[in-house]
Structure 1
Amino acid sequence: MSLFISRVRNLSAYRVVSARFFSSLPPESPCFLLSDKTVKECRESGERIVRYRIFDPRTEQVVTTSEKKLPKELIGQTLFGSSQGWVASMDSKDLPINLTDVYKPLVTSPRVIPLPSLGFYPRPFTTELSLSSQCPDQDQEDFTVAAKFCGTHLSVCTPCLNSEWIHIETSLPLVPASELMYSKRDKAFYFTSAKGLYMGSLPLSSNKKEKKKIKYQEVRLCNFPKIPGEMLDRCFASKHLVESPSGDLFLVKWYAQCTHIEEDGNGEAQGIHSKTKRFMVFRQDKKRRGYFSYTEDIGDLCIFLSKGEALCLSSSMYPGLKPNSIYYIGHGLGSYDLASGAVHSFESLGATMLNHAPFWIH
């Protein structure tokens, strides 16, 4: 599996829009955080005043935000996951975990929700996160956080009720492999197993004292398209689950190909650079939920894939987004038209830029 090197080429070819135009973004418009710049440090409060450079996929422009405060709890922490516009961070010293909406472009008074300490530092740092609410509140009894910190466990936390994480073990063939997602339709967290043969779900029970148990269902992919074997041999695939605003569930296969291996002075591999080749989308049958049928037509929907929880939005709600498309971060940065199979890259030929949040923020 490719090591995602979180570098995105400088989008210098795109016009940079000043902060005064930033308010023209539709509410909760998806965007991608490129970089931040500290404008001022507040010694008394420990906070920083920062500006963010955001990539807006609707206009394919780089936008600079107005100044906002970066809470002191987040300074120096590592970002490791995102869900519904909220980003999670962790400190390697005393292992506190925080959720914040500071990276949402239109948020002027950012919030920080502290979560219980994990008690260990996950390595490799490949953590996945999913929230049961788009507007979480640590005092909400039904607000639940699900995460995958280590290989064979699914970890769950209910901030209002629990002071610690509950780690639910899975058997090796059923280890969560896809990014976690929360289904508003079913009020459950979902993931697929490593080979995509099973789909796991963790329903949120109204009885908070009931022991949490993962349910499994066999997955059958129907109308699988014919793909040259040579292409599949050269590519590696990841699996992603995403729910549409109307409640349709999609399973997305993301195929990428290695372009070159980055080595250190001793010839040891430091990272694998890759590019996106194609996607395959399967829609869940409404009557037989274990069946997913291949489709190249998702209507006016757009799917957003990254290192965070997948998003699915209606393009008609966000003028400028391309319908029937997948927007992606990782294995390049661009969009993919499902009908034609055409890849549209957002990368320019400028200098590379270190990016510490490879997530779509919504």
Structure 2
Amino acid sequence: MSHLLRQLKLSLRRNLTASSRFLSSSPIYYVRGAEPCEHGNIETIRIPSLKVPMELLKEVGVVGASHGWITTLKNGVVCLQDDLDLHALPDTEPKRIPLPPLVTLPHCQTQIVTNVAMSSSSPDDEDCIVAVKFLGPQLSLCRPAQRDCKWSNIRITDPSFFSSHVMYSKRDGMFSMPASRGHYTGSWDLGRHMKEPKLQMLRLRAEEDQIPKMKKRMWQRLESCCTKQHYLVESLHTDETFMVKWYTESRPIANNTLDLWDHFLVLKIDKEGNAVYTKDIGDLCILLSKSEPICMPAKLNRRVQNCIYMLTEREFAIVSISCNQKFCRTPFACSLPYYYISKSLI
């Protein structure tokens, strides 16, 4: 079965004993055989138990994850830690890399973090940069390996980026975000584009023209969705860039619960900014959660190619891009929906 699935930490089951401060989990996943849109035999995968510090289960403090590193923010101090490195030896002490205190810019009162991104998998690399994107106009960057490491706070003037998710583009060597309506992107770095971002307008035809099979009623439903999120993600294996539009509709039902509906649209973007909707990203899968968006090859398991792995506070699911159908839906009870992915896998 795919090495990818063995690395995904998708749910946590509380089996805490009085003498331990760690939590042990051994979830079971059910994956359909053949392609996601076909019926087939059910296979069971058991992921080995993993010790997780109880503090990581508390919502307060954990603000993101990137390249297998969990990021915490407590009392203004950012700390990188690799408690969930699946390739670490059992007796290996988890790494803790504290960063300098992070100061909020004037007029930026919020401490809510949208997500965290890193330019490489090792904070010890001199070229590694950590980015913390706050909800609002603040983007903070720093180099952990520098002796006099300090944060560079960037004030974003365009409100279209205030709620965006940041990712690191290895192709451009910059941190990039999509604007709120997905019509253009912005990129920042610690050089010439620190104060003035590099903007790229996206040239795309009308959505209805590109996906003629989608009925007008469906377009109206997407436009009325209560939540619309945009994610940029790169495939280093195919040198492609994608933008994922994630629509969520919620309706109240009985017992004070919500009926939630998710829909995804994927655009392929070239270097010139030409964007086209696609229902086929090839032998790839995209991982979306509160971590940095990730695109990975699915060559080891063709059952899950051309799919989106989605992880939220309510569920985990695999979604076929070709038909927008969910498979392997699993309730997710943990309040921290992050993909815990080993650094060596990325």
2:334 maps to 355
Q: State the alpha-carbon separation in 1 of the partners of residues 83 and 12 from structure 2.
A: 14
CA distance in 2, matches of 1:71, 1:277: 31
Provide the rounded CA distance (Å) in 2 between the counterparts of 1:26 and 1:98.
26
Residue 238 of structure 1: aligned partner: 229
Partner amino acid for 2:47?
A: V
The answer to whether the aligner puts 1:84 opposite 2:67 as a matched pair is yes
What runs of 5+ residues in structure 2 fail to find an aligned partner? 32-42, 342-346
Of 86, 98, 101 in structure 2, the residue corresponding to residue 117 of structure 1 is: 101
Task: Classify 1:77/1:211 alpha carbon distance in 2 versus 1 (closer, same or farther; 3 Å).
Answer: same
What residue number does 2:10 align with?
32
- Give the aligned partner of residue 297 of structure 2: 314
Counterparts in 2 of 1:230 and 1:149: CA distance versus 1, 3 Å: closer
Residue 202 of structure 1, aligned match among 176, 185, 188 = 188
Q: Distance in 1 between matches of 2:309 and 2:288?
A: 6
CA contact (8 A) 1:245 1:314 kept: no
Is residue 254–residue 278 contact of structure 1 (8 Å, CA) maintained in 2? Answer: yes
| Whole-Å separation in 2 of the counterparts to 1:230 and 1:26 | 36
Bigger strand share: 1
From 215, 219, 230, give the equivalent of 2:198. Answer: 215
Q: Give 5+ residue unaligned stretches, structure 1.
A: 1-23, 43-47, 265-271
| Kept after mapping to 1: 8 A contact 2:6/2:47 | no
- 2: CA distance, partners of 1:143 / 1:195: 30
Question: What amino acid is aligned across from residue 95 of structure 2 in structure 1?
Answer: R
Please tell me the root mean square deviation across aligned C-alpha atoms, in Å: 3.5
Secondary structure at the aligned position of 1:307 is classed as coil
2:244 is equivalent to residue 252 of structure 1: yes
TM-score, length-scaled by structure 2: 0.77
Identity %: 28
Q: 1:354 to 1:211 in 2, by over 3 A?
A: same
**What is residue 127 of structure 1 aligned with on the other side?**
114
CA positional deviation for 1:262: 10
CA displacement at 1:60 relative to structure 2: 6.3
Change in Cα spacing, 1:90 to 1:220, as seen in structure 2 (3 Å) is same
Shift of 1:325: 0.7
Counterpart residue number, 1:184: 170
One-letter code aligned to 2:118: L
Against the structure 1 CA distance between its residues 336 and 34, is the aligned structure 2 distance closer, same or farther, given a 3 Å change threshold?
same
Quote the residue 1:152 is aligned against: 137
| Counterpart secondary structure, 2:187 | strand
Equivalent-residue separation in structure 2 for 1:76 and 1:149 (angstroms): 16
For residues 65 and 279 of structure 1, what CA distance do their matches in structure 2 show? 32
- Aligned equivalents of 1:39, 1:101: Cα separation in 2: 23
Matched, 1:63 2:52: no
1:101 paired to 2:86: no
Question: How far apart, CA to CA, are the structure 2 residues paired with 1:97 and 1:154?
Answer: 14
The CA deviation at 1:294 is 0.7
Task: Pick closer, same or farther for the CA change 1:313–1:180 going to 2, 3 Å.
Answer: same
Q: Distance in 2 between matches of 1:356 and 1:277?
A: 19
Letter in 2 for 1:111: K
Q: Relative to 1, partners in 2 of residues 1:323 and 1:76: Cα closer, same or farther, differing over 3 Å?
A: closer
Shift of 1:72: 8.6
1:278 counterpart letter in structure 2:
H
In 1, the alpha carbon distance for the partners of 2:206 and 2:293 equals: 23
Shift of 1:67: 4.3
What number of residue pairs does the alignment pair up? 312
Q: Give the CA deviation at 1:49.
A: 3.9
Match of 1:323 in 2: 305
1:347 to 1:171, Cα distance in 2 relative to 1, 3 A: same
Question: TM-score normalized by structure 1?
Answer: 0.74
* Alignment-derived partner of residue 157 in structure 2: 171
